[in-house]
Each structure stands twice: as structure tokens, then as C-alpha cells.
Amino acid sequence: MAKRLLALTVNGRAREDAVADHALLVDYLRTTAGLTGTKQGCDGGECGACTVLIDGQPRLACITLAVTCEGRRVETIEGLAEDGRMSRLQRMFHEKLGAQCGFCTPGMIMAAEALLRRMPHPDEQAIRDALSGNLCRCTGYVKIIEAVRAAATDAG
Amino acid sequence: MTSAARHSTVPPAAQAAAVAPAAHAAGQRTPLIDGIEKVTGRARYTADLPFGDALVGRILRSPVAHGEIRGIDTRAALAIPGVRAVVTGTDFAAPYGVIPIAQNEWPLARGRIRYRGEPVAAVAAVDAETADAALAAIVLDIEPLPAYFSAADARAPDAVRLHEKKAGNIEREVDQSFGEVDAGFETADLVCEETYHYAEVAHGQIELNAAVAAWEPEHERLTTHSVTQVPYYLHLTLAQCLGIDTSQIRVIKPFVGGGFGHRVEPLNFEMVAAALARAAGGTVKVLLSREDGFLTHRGRPETDIRLKIAMAKTGAITAVDCEIVQRGGAYGGYGLVTILYAGALLHALYMVPAVRYRGFRVYTNTPPCGAMRGHGAVDARHAFESLLDRMAAELGLDPFAVRRANLITPPFRTINDLQVNSCGLPACLEWVEEASGWKTRRGALPRGRGMGLACSHYVSGSAKPVHWSGEPHAVIHLKLDHDGGITVLTGASDIGQGSSTLLAQVVAEVMSLSLARIRVIATDSALTPKDNGSYSSRVSFMVGNAALRAAEELKRILVAAAAKRLEVSVDDIEWNGEHCLVAGTDRGLAFREVVEAALVDTGALSVKGVWSTPPETQGGKFRGAAVGSTAGFSYAAQVVEVSVDEDTGQVTVERVWVAHDCGFAINPLAVEGQVQGAVWMGMGQALSEETQYHEGLPLRPNMLDYRIPTIVESPPIAVKLVESRDPLGPFGAKEASEGALHGFAPALTNAIHDAIGLRLTELPASPDRVFEALVEVRRTERLRARAAAGGQRNAGN
């Protein structure tokens, strides 16, 4: 199988890895880069658990070929902490119980992170729109919305 | 005095050693103790575990729904370089099943295949491509048999039996009668009967199934990491299916991404991973797809209900007669428990004097059903609360009034011998009535908008365990060593519900210590005491009680050590957690000094707490009486407000008000989260979720066609926690994760009736169903109008 050298930035760190042409970004991140915070919850593009940021935009790593990230900035849940401490958004997900089992959480937080960068003070409708591709089976989304709102309020 | 000056009165040594001051831990809104790992991505789930170059395990599934296996040729697969093991049904020592008397499933089909997608063979190879090539090289020789995809077809007189001993393909038939049923119907003022149909639904936990099995050939030992809710069942089943001694097996549950009942039973891939690991002599990782999850299934069965209720003018129920048929799927699993739960909890929510229940669990050629959140009682609750609503209307009673006419006052023993020691349902009803503005808003809403009410209840753990070993229902170990940290060792599976946090809170509360002193080590069979598992909402109540008792024992030991060191009686010790005093003096010891004193001569302390359900809560003596029995029932009431688009059949849930009697909220934050999650899961089933098969082929085995609600259509859910303080619960606590689910669907369809006058008797209330029901109503109205007009003309002639 054909491989090529992939040069990209993952969580601010430059990497070069030999990657198969057909390798998915989610597998590259989890296996090659060892960043297992990005989850896979479906057979491709259904659940949003694998959401990462590519050049700041939320993307599904399970339907993105790794080689398409050549020269791009990829950010995962592991890259959000600041000086090793939870970011404000992460802290609000923790404190407001936006995470129960936690499996959808990395993708949910990355989708919310993209929203808050684009729109620091979103209303509830904007939060719902931004997270509409991320399924959660535990929370009923109520406390997820509270967490994102609280993060936005705090940031203000 | 300034606060700085006040601080300076504390000796420097004590300052250095200080851990956050003692505060109440129980009753506090407490973020999960393992929550930071989840939001930072550090939490390791089974698929995340680093196992180096583990072999890849893959499962071959049957292309036919029913057939005899004439042969499975694995020679070509084994010959492929990189293939390390191929296993089939004959590689297992015994069949399995979660209920000891109904074990009829093999990890890989043996002799007979009973559903499309049933695992038939498995391979372990050096990588996924090789493993897939090996699966493709396996040759199956299967002689097809007639297959049955509905309960009715499977029950037909000439149907082939799926399981030899089960005539009519009936797995379990229930026939129960309590009280004077016929008299109850004869003396009633109103008798109504209705039939209902419910689609099959699935758990849809977001984490995909996964298991990693490591076999040590030199020791003949197995270590399995898996997504299980009940490591103990898995442990027993691995031993049974592999034919090895339980002492040679270690089961570890890492972080688990939800369960909702899918992972209570041991699941085929867990035993398959172990068999592959043994055959290959190494470590095998089996990661399954979403489609595999739907095939593994164990969800809520397709159900048909015929329900008849008799009522006095006051709204008091005088008798109930119900028949329930469940399409159970291909194997026993939890089936007999599910069909018994449906009958046991159908009426026990209220004071009902007479009940007849007939239940039929039917084998079909579809993936096996099992336990799903609200086990057995969800569809039955919908039927009951729907018919109550209709009867209330016919008697001119408010939906609240008809419920209030049938309330239980504890202590109370239901007609089917279930013990109720606490019941906060009256307070639940009051709150949702007030909060929703029921009295002023209902009836004043525009057409297309409506409000509906329903009540529900659930067990706080099944009072009788599946395995009659004579052991307590729950065991907790606590370890306290030189470091002054307390380790809670528990077999209870935290699957996201927050059980580990709750156990830490219970221990902290009893000992008046900060959570910072407490760690929880859970679900590693080599370290933690056996637990019966996370199912039937048993953990808070049962394991919470064991933790409470363990902490009391540890505190007793520490108080005794402090008294000895201070040379006073234990009665003179005033215990404040981080320090204790000789009462009425300023003499005392810091916690660290107490620990030092307690370790003299004994070293590290290990104490234990156990708990068992009292005999009077374990149900009656009739066949099947154990199912439904519990030491504490939770109660809930909810009002749902909907809008319905009559042109499209689209139902939108606008708001939900739910009050849940959880006895006492040890962690109100988590309880709210559980109640919201339960209500919302009920909404998924009520609005949009359903599996679908064509000739046994799943048509919706993905998260797009199996329509779990997204954040867009999920409403605000206002929660009130009612605290009835159960006499047996830890600090009065009862379950909080399931009981509010059952009420959503009936509250929704009652609200749809309020909105547009349509009584739906089928779920989910998807737009097509609502629209077709509306068309049917309009046609009936037209025919009636035409007949009336014709009648008038005839009369005029």
C-alpha cells in the first residue's frame, strides 16, 4: 500500500509521519500520534465523536483522509489545556456535568470550541446549531448547553 | 480580627498538612471525580488502551437468518500468512446466557444459526487487512430454514422451532392473577380496552463495543478488558465458555462510554476475543462497528399490548387485565425477566386491587433483545398511562385527579407482593402541576399545542440477585494506610452515571472528610470485591449502603485509636474528620495523628461494608415474584408540552417538567443529569427511534437511520428532586437513572391528544405515523358525517 510523508502541526507541534494514502485522520491521531482523546463512535460521519479542528474549523476525523492535512494545523482535545490545566470550556463541561460517560465529550468540546472562537457570546440557538452534528446519549444535551453558555459567560 | 489573623492561630504544622476542611459531601452538587479525565481526553476507554502490537480480532457474521450449519471450512483462512487463529462455535466449552436457567446462546453459532448477523467464526491476525482477508476466505455451508421475523409468525402452529424444547416458539409464558379480577370489572362504572404497538428500540451508547483479551500461555491465564456493565457476569461466562477456572481470569472494566443495559449481559465478542487470544497465545483486540452494535442488540423488544382497565366514577381503579407479547429475538438472554417486569410494574405504581396479566416472550429470527433502561416496564407504562388519560376524560376527571385517586400511602404492599416503604409521588404531582401552569394553561393553548401528564416508577435494584450464592448484595472494601488516603475498592461499574463519585461522597460524609482524601479504585477483579453490577439501578442504593457501612466501621476503628492515644473513652471523642477532640476540651489529634495511632501494631487498615436487601422486600412466593421486587421504589411525574403540525405530522416537544422522587439526592448535580438523560431517552423512543428489518436484515444499523434526537430537537427539561427519605436507602436515597424514562412517552401522546384530539396507540410518534393516524381520523369523521347526512335524508324521505 502506498505511503507518503505527511507534515502537519498537531496541537501546536510539528510532526512528520509516513502515512498510508487511505489512512483516516482519526486512525492517524489515535494510533500514530497516540492521541486517543479523539473518539470513534460510528461507522463514518454519523455521530461527531471524532470532531477535531483543522485550521480552526470543526471537521470529522473519521471521514477525513490523514494525507489531506498536509501543511495544516490539527487540534484535538489534548491540545486545549492551557499550561496543563483545563481550558475554561473544559472546566465548565466538568463543573456543569456536560459530560456523563464522556465518550462524546471530546468531539462535543471541540465543536463548541470552534463556535466560541467564531462567536464568543453565542445564544442558545447558535449553540444548538453548532453542536447539531454531535450526538450524546447520556445528558439529553441540557447540561451541555449550560456548560457552553457558562464558558461563554465566563469568557466575557 | 482579619481573616489572615484568624489563619495565624492554626499551628504551622497543621497548615502544611491541611486538606480542604470537612464539609458535608452527601447532598452537595459534586462534579464527577473522574470528570477531568473525560473533558481533557485523558480517560482511557477499552479501545484506547495501549497494548502495543496486539493482534486484530474480526468476526464473521451469518448471511442467513435461520439455518443449520453443515460445515465451516477455515483451512484457506488459516493458510493466509499473518493469520494467527481461527475459531468457531466448536472451540467453546459451553453455551451462555445471563439467566442461569436460560443459557442457550454460543459465542459463535454452533449447529444452528438463528439470526442474520449472528457471529459464526472469528479470526486473529497481525493486522486488519489480513484479518478481513481471512474472514473472506472462510467458507460457510448453511442449509436455510424457514425464518420468522414477527412474534405472530413465530407462534404459528406450523412454525419450525428455533429452540428444540420451546413449543410454539414461546420462551416464557406468564399467567398471573391477583385479587378478585372479575368482580373488579363487574362493579366498575367504566371499563375501557385498547391495543398498543411499540417498535423495537436500541441503546445507542456512543462508545462502540470493544474487548481486549490477553492470554498468558505459560500460566494459562486470561486478562480481559471490556466495555461491560457487569464484570462479574463476564468473569463467570468467560470461565464457562472457555472451560477454565475463574481463578485464572482477571476482568478489568476501564472507562465505559455508556451502557443503558446493552452491556449487562456478557456479549458474544467478549468471549470470542478470549477464545482468539487463547488460540493465538497472545493479546487480541476486537473493535466492533456501529452496525455490529445493532446486531449485538439486547434492546427493548417490539411489543404488542392489549390492556383493559376498570374504574369507579371517582377514578379509583377496580381491576386491570393485560396481555403483552414481546418479540424477543433469537436467544434467551434476559427475556424471561423482561416479560415478568412488564407485568410486575404495569400496575404496582398505583393502589390496584385486582390484576390479571398474561405475557408471552417469543423467539424470532431477529437479534436478541435484552435489558434496556427502564427494563420491561416502558411500553407497559405507556399503555397504562394512555388508557388512564382516556378514562379520565370519559369520566370528566382531570388527568391529575385520576392519578391522585389511586396513590399508594407507604408502608404498602402491592397486590403482587411488592413492598413500598416510601413514595414521594404526591409531591411530584404537585410540583409538575404547579411548575407547568397546568391549571391555567391546559385547555387555553391554541389548537396544535397541548400538555400531557404521566407518572412512572422503578426499582432501586432487583431485590433478588441472578445468582443465588448466599453472598450479600453489595460489598465495599476501604483501605487506609500510612499516607492518610482512603481508597474505596469497589466492583461497581461506573459507566457514566457517576457511581464512583457517589461512593466517595458516601464515605466522605460518614467520616466528615474531604473528597480529596478519597480515591476510588473500581472494577478490577484482581483488586476489587465482586459486585453484582450496574443494572436495575441498584448501585446507589445497594453499593451506597455497603459503602456507608464500611465507612462507619473505619470511623469506629479510628475513633477507638484516638481514644486510646488520648487516654479517654470512645464516648468522649468528638469526631470532626480532619481533627478530633476530647469533648469539652481543646485536647485533640489531627487526622494524620489518628491514622498513625490506628496503624500501631496492625499496619495498613482494610475494612469492609456489606449490605443485603431485607427478606420482606424480596417479593412474594408465586412463580416469577422476584422480578419487580426491590428495597426501594423511585417515583416520577412529568408534564410534556408539545406542538403538532397537522399538515406534516411533525411533533415538536417544547418543554418538559419532571419531578423525581430519588429519596435523597446524594449528588444533586448527577441526579439531575440522570433524570434529564432518562426523560430524553424516553423522548427518543417516543418520537423517532425504531429498528427495522427486511427478512432479518437490519435496515437502520447506523446513527443516521436510527434516529437518536440531536441537540436541535431536544427540549429544555426542568427537574425537581423530591426527597422522600426512604427508610432503607443510604441517607434515604433511591434510584434516579431509570424511573423518569417511562413517563415520557405517555405524557407525550397524552399531550398530542390535548393538542389535536388524536390518541396514538403506536410508537414512535414519527411524522408518518401521526399523519396517517390523522388521515384515518378525518376519513372516519367524513364517513360518520356522510352517514349522518344520509340518515337525515332517509329520515326526510
ipTM above 0.85, yes or no: yes
Instruction: Give the residue from chain B lying closest to A133, CA to CA.
Output: B710
CATH topology of domain B48-145+203-296: Aldehyde Oxidoreductase; domain 4 (3.30.365)
Note whether A67 and A108 are same-domain residues: no
Looking up residue A60, the CATH number of its domain turns out to be: 3.10.20.30
Nearest CA distance, B775 vs chain A (angstrom): 32
pTM to 2 decimal places: 0.96
Using an 8 Å Cβ cutoff, are B391 and B402 in contact? yes
- What is the per-residue pLDDT across B728-784, written as a single tens digit (0 to 9) for each? 999 999 999 999 999 999 999 999 999 999 999 999 999 999 999 999 999 999 999
pLDDT (0 to 100) of residue B475: 98
Across residues B667-690, what is the average pLDDT? Answer: 98
Q: Do residue A123 and residue A150 come from a single domain?
A: yes
Q: What is the pLDDT of residue B209?
A: 98
Burial of B790 (0-12, 13-18, 19+ CB in 10 A): exposed
Does the structure show a pLDDT above 60 at B795?
no
Q: At residue B600, does pLDDT exceed 90? A: yes
Q: Which domain holds residue A129?
A: 88-155
Contacts of B495 in chain A (CB under 8 A): 101
Of A38, A41, A136, the CB nearest to B208: A41
In this predicted structure, the answer to whether residue B793 has a pLDDT above a threshold of 70 is no
Q: Determine the pLDDT at residue B15.
A: 42
Mean pLDDT (whole number) for B402-426: 98
Q: In this structure, what CATH number is given to the domain that contains residue A131? A: 1.10.150.120
pLDDT of residue B52: 87
What pairs with residue B283 in β-bridges? B214
Q: What is the mean pLDDT of chain B?
A: 95
B16 has pLDDT over 80: no
Could you tell me if A98 and A123 lie in one domain?
A: yes
Q: Does A22 touch chain B (CB under 8 A)?
A: no
CA A155/CA A92 separation, integer angstroms: 11
Closest CA to B658 of B720, B714, B715: B720
Report in angstroms the alpha-carbon separations of B688 from B184, B204, B647, B745: 37, 13, 18, 11
Which residues are CB-neighbours of B514 under 8 A, at least 6 positions away? B19, B20, B21, B22, B23, B25, B508, B577, B578
Residue B782 at interface with chain A, using a CB cutoff of 8 Å: no
Mean pLDDT value of segment B249-271: 98
Gyration radius (Cα) of chain A, Å: 15
Residues of chain B above pLDDT 70, percent: 96
pLDDT above 60: residue B230: yes
Start-end ranges of CATH 3.30.365.10 in chain B?
A: 3-30+465-612, 48-145+203-296, 421-460+632-797
**The pLDDT of residue A156:** 43
Q: Residue range B390-397: average pLDDT?
A: 98
Task: Give the residue from A79, A98, A124 where a domain finishes.
Answer: A79
Q: Are A12 and A72 members of one domain?
A: yes
B51-93 pLDDT, tens digit per residue, is 988 999 999 999 999 999 999 999 999 999 999 999 999 999 9
* Pair B271, B92: CB distance under 8 Å: yes
Examine the domain organization and report whether A75 and A8 are in the same domain: yes
Continuous segment of H or E residues that includes residue B70: strand B67-73
CATH number of B3-30+465-612: 3.30.365.10
- 3-state class percentages of chain B: helix first, strand second, coil last, to nearest 5: 35, 25, 40
Last residue of a domain, one of A62, A79, A96: A79
A11 reaches B (C-beta below 8 A): no
**Are residues A133 and A96 located together in one domain of the fold?**
yes
Please give the distance of CA A95 from its chain centroid, rounded to a whole number: 19
Kindly determine whether residue A43 and residue B289, on different chains, have CB atoms separated by under 8 Å.
Answer: yes
Q: Distance between CA atoms of B589 and B32, rounded to whole angstroms?
A: 31
Residue B5 has pLDDT above 50, yes or no: no
The residue among A35, A100, A132 with the most chain B CBs within 10 A of its CB, best to mutate, is A100
Farthest CA pair distance, chain B? 110
Is there a contact between B717 and A129 if contact means CB atoms under 8 Å apart? no
The grid coordinates of residue A18 equal 509516513
* Least confident span in B13-27, B415-429, B658-672, B690-704: B13-27
Would you call B32 and A97 a contact, using CB atoms and an 8 Å cutoff? yes
Q: Return the H-helix or E-strand segment holding B410.
A: none
pLDDT-derived band of residue B467, with 50, 70 and 90 as boundaries?
confident
Query: B59 forms bridges with which residues in the sheet?
Result: B122
Q: What pLDDT digit, counting tens, does each position of B535-583 carry?
A: 999 999 999 999 999 999 999 999 999 999 999 999 999 999 999 999 9
| Cβ atoms of residues B171 and B142 within 8 Å | no
Q: Which residue of B has its CA nearest to A76?
A: B41
| pLDDT per residue as tens digits for the range B313-350 | 999 999 999 999 999 999 999 999 999 999 999 999 99
Out of A49, A79, A109, a domain closes at A79
Q: What is the pLDDT of residue B3?
A: 39
Asked whether residue A95 falls in the same domain as residue A61, the answer is no
Q: Give the residue from B84, B91, B79 showing the smallest Cα distance to B121.
A: B91
Query: How distant is the Cα of B658 from the closest Cα of chain A, in angstroms?
Result: 13
| Helical ranges in B623-766 per DSSP H | 668-687, 744-756
Does A100 share its domain with A128?
yes
Instruction: Tell me which CATH code domain B421-460+632-797 carries.
Output: 3.30.365.10
Contact A142 B206 (CB under 8 A): no
Residue B8 is predicted with a pLDDT of 37
Residues A138-151: tens digit of each pLDDT: 999 999 999 999 99
- From residue B698, alpha-carbon distances to B291, B300, B365 in Å are 9, 15, 12
**Tens-place pLDDT, residues B113-149:** 999 999 999 999 999 999 999 999 999 999 999 999 9
How far apart are the C-alpha atoms of B651 and B43, rounded to whole Å? 38
Cis ω for the linkage preceding B410 (within 30 of 0): no
For residue B757, count other CB atoms closer than 10 A to its CB: 11
- Interface list for A 71-90 with B (CB within 8 A): 76-78, 80-81, 86, 90
Whether residue B711 lies within 8 A of chain A, CB to CB, comes out as yes
Q: How many domains does chain A have?
A: 2
